A and B are shown apart, each in its own frame.
Chain A
Amino acid sequence: KQEVTQIPAALSVPEGENLVLNCSFTDSAIYNLQWFRQDPGKGLTSLLLIQSSQREQTSGRLNASLDKSSGRSTLYIAASQPGDSATYLCAVPNSNSGYALNFGKGTSLLVTP
């Protein structure tokens, strides 16, 4: 069974810092990896989708990398802002259950002014 782990579970940084969130997965035979953002009491917003053949994907201040062989992905947030405060989730599809996503438990990020 694919296990997805996110480290750290929580992170607090001052505004302006660059930061890295980590995601690891046990089965490297993935189609892609998706990063989501979840605000308190809200749904999941897709941030980035990295194909299995890609190494990086960028959107604005966000950059996600993927290393299938080592079972790792990182989400890099540049010049963090208080509005970035949220929980960040990574997930990989499981072909044995209709490509449903296996999620990590998330990293709760707080960016202080």
Chain B
Amino acid sequence: NAGVTQTPKFRVLKTGQSMTLLCAQDMNHEYMYWYRQDPGMGLRLIHYSVGEGTTAKGEVPDGYNVSRLKKQNFLLGLESAAPSQTSVYFCASSQQQGWRTEAFFGQGTRLTVV
């Protein structure tokens, strides 16, 4: 019962470095999401995908790119990390069936940019 798995769990980057966060789900969900969580700001949507090969911008997309080449994976990339991207990143997936929409979350990736 893996659900939604994020790797890595922790990472420290230097300003300007790049990295990719991986999200994998084994529930065959169509919809996947990346959020960031910051103190006092709550959870904010970065990018989302409504199916394999599709991506769309959320509330705070600047500085991030995403790809959904396979249905089960959703990658979040930082091309040139900035201290403002220090945050906890959560991936989620859901299967849209109207009111039955229920989201499942990964355990998070704690990223520090120094």
Instruction: Using CB atoms and an 8 Å cutoff, list the residues of chain A in contact with chain B.
Output: 31-32, 34, 36, 41-46, 49, 51-53, 89, 91, 93, 97-101, 103-106
Expressed in whole angstroms, the Cα–Cα distance for A31 and B99 within the complex equals 5
B residues near A105, Cβ cutoff 8 Å: 40-42
- Tell whether, in the assembled complex, residue A46 and residue B49 are in contact, meaning their CB atoms are under 8 Å apart: no
Expressed in whole angstroms, the Cα–Cα distance for A89 and B106 within the complex equals 16
Q: How far is the CB of A45 from chain B (nearest CB, A)?
A: 8
Chain A residue nearest to B98 (CB atoms) is A31
Expressed in whole angstroms, the Cα–Cα distance for A44 and B20 within the complex equals 22
- Tell whether, in the assembled complex, residue B102 and residue A100 are in contact, meaning their CB atoms are under 8 Å apart: no
What are 19 A-B contacts defined by CB distance under 8 Å? A31-B98, A32-B99, A32-B102, A34-B103, A36-B105, A43-B90, A43-B106, A44-B90, A44-B105, A45-B105, A51-B99, A89-B43, A91-B43, A97-B45, A97-B56, A97-B58, A99-B94, A99-B96, A105-B41
Chain A residue nearest to B55 (CB atoms) is A98
- Tell whether, in the assembled complex, residue A100 and residue B106 are in contact, meaning their CB atoms are under 8 Å apart: no
Expressed in whole angstroms, the Cα–Cα distance for A100 and B91 within the complex equals 11
Instruction: Using CB atoms and an 8 Å cutoff, list the residues of chain B in contact with chain A.
Output: 31, 33, 40-43, 45, 48-50, 56, 58-59, 90, 92, 94, 96, 98-108, 110
- Tell whether, in the assembled complex, residue A34 and residue B56 are in contact, meaning their CB atoms are under 8 Å apart: no
A residues near B49, Cβ cutoff 8 Å: 98
- Tell whether, in the assembled complex, residue A98 and residue B42 are in contact, meaning their CB atoms are under 8 Å apart: no
Q: How far is the CB of B32 from chain A (nearest CB, A)?
A: 9
Among the listed A36, A49, A98, A103, which residue makes an inter-chain contact with B31, where contact means beta carbons less than 8 Å apart? A98
Chain B residue nearest to A92 (CB atoms) is B101
B residues near A45, Cβ cutoff 8 Å: 105
Among the listed B98, B100, B103, which residue makes an inter-chain contact with A101, where contact means beta carbons less than 8 Å apart? B103
Expressed in whole angstroms, the Cα–Cα distance for A91 and B90 within the complex equals 15
Chain B residue nearest to A103 (CB atoms) is B43
Besides A46-B102, A99-B31, 8 new A-B residue pairs in contact (Cβ under 8 A), listed by A number: A43-B108, A51-B100, A91-B43, A91-B103, A97-B56, A100-B58, A101-B92, A104-B42
Which are the 7 A-B pairs with shortest beta-carbon distances? A43-B107, A105-B42, A44-B105, A103-B43, A51-B99, A98-B48, A100-B45
